[in-house]
C-alpha cells in the first residue's frame, strides 16, 4: 500500500480531530495476532484442534470444569507470553497524545494487551482472562496461579468453582460494557475497526451503527470482511504496520499546521 492511502486516511481523521471529538477503536483477535496470540479463525490457531463451543462454553464449565480449566490454562499460557505489538502501542499513544479528544478502545479480546500497552479507556466486551470469581458466592478472586494448582480451582470461602471473568459461548455480554460501547459508537466521529472478522455479534454491528451515525469508518484487516465495501477507508494490511503508519501521517500533518 502506498503512502498516499495512509495520507488520505490521516487527512480524513485529522479533519475530525476537533476539541470534544470522539475516536473509537474497535479491536478483535487480529489486533493481537502479531503479539503471537492466535485468532479464532486463522491458520495455526488454538482452535484448529479445539472447537471453541466445545471447550469454552457455559455447558462445559458447568459439567466438566476440570476440562474447561485445562483449556483455559492453555489460553492463559499463550497470552501470558505475549507482549503488546505496535498496533496496541499506537492506540495507547493516540489516547495519551490527543488531549482534547475522547479516545476509547472497545475490544473483543480477553488478553489485557491494550492495558499492558498503556490504554486507559478500554471497554472489554468479552471480559478478561486474568480476572476470576466464584460461581457460587460471586467473590472476586485476585489471582489463580498458572497453571492452576488444582482443576478446577476452588473458592477459599465456599469451595465453589472459580471461573475466569470471560464471556463463554452461551452467555450474555456484560450489560455495562455493551451500553458504554453503544454510546461511544453512536457518538464517534472516527471509528477504527481493527483485526476483527466482523462476524461475532453484537460487536459486528458496531461499525455499521457508526456509519449510520455519520462517523468516518476506517477498517484495518489483511482479509476482506462484510465491512470492507461499506467502510470509508479500508487498509488490507496487518495492524502492526498500518496503524503506526497512519498515526505517523497524522502527527506530521499536525506538525505542518503549527
Q: Which residues contact 23 (CB under 8 A, 6 or more apart)?
A: 13, 16, 17, 94, 98, 101, 102, 103, 104, 188, 189, 190, 192
Kindly list the residues in this chain that would bind ligand NAD in the complex (CB under 6 A): 28-30, 32-34, 37, 39-42, 108-111, 126, 195-197, 199-200, 220-223, 225, 238-239
Task: List 164's β-bridge partners, or say none.
Answer: 132
**220 phi/psi in degrees, rounded to 5:** -125, 110
CB of 93 to ligand NAD, least distance (A): 18
Q: Identify the burial level of 52 via C-beta atoms within 10 angstroms of its C-beta, where 0-12 means exposed, 13-18 middle and 19 or more buried.
A: middle
Contact 106, 185 (CB under 8 A): yes
Nearer CB in complex with ligand NAD: 21/35? 35
User: Is residue 137 at the binding interface for Zn ion, with CB under 5 A as the rule?
Assistant: yes
Nearer CB in complex with ligand NAD: 93/111? 111
**141 phi/psi in degrees, rounded to 5:** -105, 120
Contact 117, 127 (CB under 8 A): no
Task: List 193's β-bridge partners, or say none.
Answer: 26, 219
221 binds, among Zn ion, ligand NAD, none (CB under 5 to 8 A by kind): ligand NAD
CB of 207 to ligand NAD, least distance (A): 12
User: Is residue 160 at the binding interface for Zn ion, with CB under 5 A as the rule?
Assistant: yes
Nearer CB in complex with ligand NAD: 37/155? 37
User: Is residue 154 at the binding interface for Zn ion, with CB under 5 A as the rule?
Assistant: no
- Choose, by CB under 5 A, the member of 120, 157, 171, 226 that binds Zn ion: 157
Q: Which residues contact 142 (CB under 8 A, 6 or more apart)?
A: 132
Nearer CB in complex with Zn ion: 155/184? 155
CB of 159 to Zn ion, least distance (A): 7
126 binds, among Zn ion, ligand NAD, none (CB under 5 to 8 A by kind): ligand NAD
User: Is residue 134 at the binding interface for Zn ion, with CB under 5 A as the rule?
Assistant: yes
Judged by CB under 5 A, the number of residues near Zn ion is: 8
245 binds, among Zn ion, ligand NAD, none (CB under 5 to 8 A by kind): none
Nearest alpha-carbon partner for 82 in 121, 110, 42, 53 = 110
Cell readout for 63 is: 459439567
Gap between the Cα atoms of 258 and 249, Å rounded? 15
DSSP 135: T
Nearer CB in complex with Zn ion: 66/120? 66
User: Is residue 158 at the binding interface for Zn ion, with CB under 5 A as the rule?
Assistant: yes
200 binds, among Zn ion, ligand NAD, none (CB under 5 to 8 A by kind): ligand NAD
Chain residues in the site for Zn ion (CB under 5 A): 134, 136-137, 139, 155, 157-158, 160
Amino acid at each position: 500500500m502506498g503512502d498516499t492511502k495512509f495520507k488520505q486516511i490521516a487527512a480524513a481523521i485529522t479533519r475530525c480531530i476537533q476539541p470534544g471529538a470522539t475516536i473509537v477503536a474497535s479491536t478483535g483477535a487480529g489486533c493481537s495476532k502479531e503479539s503471537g496470540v492466535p485468532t479464532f479463525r486463522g491458520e495455526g490457531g488454538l482452535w484448529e484442534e479445539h472447537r471453541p463451543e466445545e471447550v469454552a462454553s457455559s455447558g462445559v464449565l458447568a459439567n466438566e470444569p476440570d476440562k474447561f480449566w485445562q483449556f483455559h490454562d492453555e489460553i492463559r499460557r499463550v497470552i501470558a507470553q505475549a507482549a503488546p505489538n505496535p498496533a496496541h502501542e499506537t492506540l495507547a499513544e493516540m489516547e495519551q497524545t490527543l488531549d482534547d479528544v475522547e479516545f476509547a478502545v472497545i475490544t473483543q479480546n480477553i488478553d489485557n494487551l491494550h492495558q499492558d500497552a498503556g490504554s486507559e479507556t478500554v471497554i472489554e466486551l468479552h471480559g478478561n482472562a486474568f480476572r476470576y470469581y466464584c460461581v457460587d458466592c460471586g467473590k472476586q478472586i485476585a489471582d489463580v496461579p498458572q497453571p492452576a494448582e488444582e482443576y478446577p480451582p476452588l473458592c477459599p470461602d465456599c469451595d465453589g468453582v472459580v471461573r475466569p471473568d470471560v464471556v463463554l459461548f452461551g452467555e450474555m455480554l456484560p450489560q455495562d460494557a455493551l451500553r458504554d460501547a453503544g454510546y461511544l459508537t453512536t457518538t464517534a466521529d472516527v471509528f477504527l475497526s481493527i483485526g476483527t472478522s466482523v462476524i461475532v455479534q453484537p460487536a459486528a454491528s458496531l461499525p455499521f451503527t457508526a456509519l449510520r451515525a455519520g462517523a468516518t469508518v476506517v477498517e484495518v484487516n489483511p482479509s476482506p470482511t462484510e465491512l470492507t465495501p461499506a467502510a470509508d477507508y479500508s487498509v488490507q494490511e496487518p495492524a502492526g504496520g498500518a496503524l503506526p503508519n497512519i498515526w505517523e501521517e497524522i502527527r506530521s500533518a499536525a506538525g505542518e499546521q503549527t
